[in-house]
Amino acid sequence: MNSKPVSGPHVLTVRRVDAIMFKVVVALLPAVGFGIVLFGLPAFYLTVTTVAAALLVEAVCLNLKGVRVMPYLSDGSAVLTGLLVAMTLPPWAPWWIGVLGSVIAIILGKQVYGGLGQNLFNPAMLARVALLVTFPIEMTSWVDVSPLFTGISLADSFGITFGQSYSLDGITGATTLGAVKTGFSQNQTLSVLLSDYSGFLAFIGWERGSLGETSSLLILLGGIWLIRQGIIQWTMPLSVLASIALLSTLFFAIDSQHYLSPWVHLNSGALMLVAFFIATDYVTSPNTPLGQIIFGTGCGTLIFIIRTWGGYPEGTGFAILLMNAVTPLIDHYIKPRIYGRYRDGKPIEIQNP
């Protein structure tokens, strides 16, 4: 039987899960590629390992669940989760960090709730926070920029990801946010701390940071492409970015030596990635435009609060998880108006002409 409508003004679109996931992955690839160029082959190995582990764990879970593996595995959601986990890791992290991240994301973040569409928390952020809490040293070892094929030999780069130790380390240092957090605790002012900070380099991503988070430019381009494709709504990223920009502008205007400028905030850490690719997760964010604005503003505000006054230099993961937990509440109170009824559910009176 042909299910396509035969007459009338119908527009046929293919919006299947795998198509959406594929487009999101494509939008992420430039940032991942840039991360690999920036940090060399270890970053590539880590990405491949993490994605492969995500696929494997997903297949095992689906098998245990007793459903046919291939149709679900090929929807691409596991690839996307693995890729997002890899992007939030330090580029020279050992392979088991990536594997463990995928295991946490897929099993604890997704499958225990019942699989795709059932999870309360964003799997990738859950994995990132669990890893950060559990392995604080590995998760905060940021390697200096060492572009592909320039620094280390092929064998050494293999050893960094799969070897036992960090003996052939590149030079490591703190990220901008980490350095500022440490500096503030030593009563230094921003003009000293950010003396060699380049706003332009931070924007294109030529700085220390997580594997796929450094380049604001490429993530921004990917995100805008997704908005143009209709995969994500502009409300969510805009409300995240606007709220943090507004707050940081306000505090920067009050005291420019002790509060980071909005430009630093916007181009540091995982903010761009979170705004465009994590907060917009269909499953764990509110459904209505107003709900999304509340969610995004909450995320941005929490990120600013944690970055500025919290114990961790970066708070995007925590902010997302906290707002994920509030999402059911937002969806409970913010409901779209039903056609023919007022917002409170009462029917609109019919007025006879």
Partner 1 sequence: MNLSILLSEPYRKITRDGLWDNNVVFTQHLALCPLLAVTGTATNALGMGLATTVVMVASNGTVSLARHLIPSEIRIPIFVLLIAALVTLVDLFLNAWLHELHKVLGLFIPLIVTNCVILGRAEAFASKQPVMLSLWDGFMMGAGFTLAMVALGAIREISSAGTLFANASVLLGESFRFMEITLLPDYRGFLLTALPPGGFIVLGFLVAVKRMIDQRIQAIQTTTPIRSVISSDTEEEVAP
Nearer to partner 1, 164 or 186 (CB): 164
State yes or no: residue 63 binds partner 1 (CB under 8 A).
Answer: no
Nearer to partner 1, 136 or 328 (CB): 136
CA distance 69 to 59: 6
Of 38, 36, 87, give the one whose Cα is nearest residue 205.
38
**Shortest distance, position 111 Cβ to partner 1, whole Å:** 12
Alpha-carbon distances, residue 164 vs 95, 96, 137, 154 (angstroms): 10, 11, 15, 16
**Shortest distance, position 299 Cβ to partner 1, whole Å:** 20
What's the token pair of residue 132? Answer: 């950060």
Q: Among 22-30, 130-138, 212-220, 300-308, which window interacts with partner 1 (CB under 8 A)?
A: 130-138
**Shortest distance, position 184 Cβ to partner 1, whole Å:** 26
Q: Which of 26, 67, 70, 133 binds partner 1 (CB under 8 A)?
A: 133
CA distance 186 to 189: 9
At 133, which helix (H) or strand (E)? helix 123-134
Q: What is the DSSP string of 63-127?
A: HHHTS-HHHHHTTSHHHHHHHHHHHTS-TT--HHHHHHHHHIIIIITTGGGTSTTT-SS-HHHHH
Q: Are 248 and 265 in contact (CB under 8 A)?
A: yes
Return the residues of window 264-303 that contact partner 1 according to CB under 8 A.
none
CA distance 45 to 273: 21
Nearer to partner 1, 133 or 253 (CB): 133
Nearer to partner 1, 133 or 168 (CB): 133
**Shortest distance, position 320 Cβ to partner 1, whole Å:** 16
State yes or no: residue 66 binds partner 1 (CB under 8 A).
Answer: yes
State yes or no: residue 112 binds partner 1 (CB under 8 A).
Answer: yes
CA distance 85 to 100: 10
Return the residues of window 80-109 that contact partner 1 according to CB under 8 A.
108
**Shortest distance, position 142 Cβ to partner 1, whole Å:** 20
Residues that bind partner 1 (CB under 8 A): 66, 108, 112, 130, 133-135
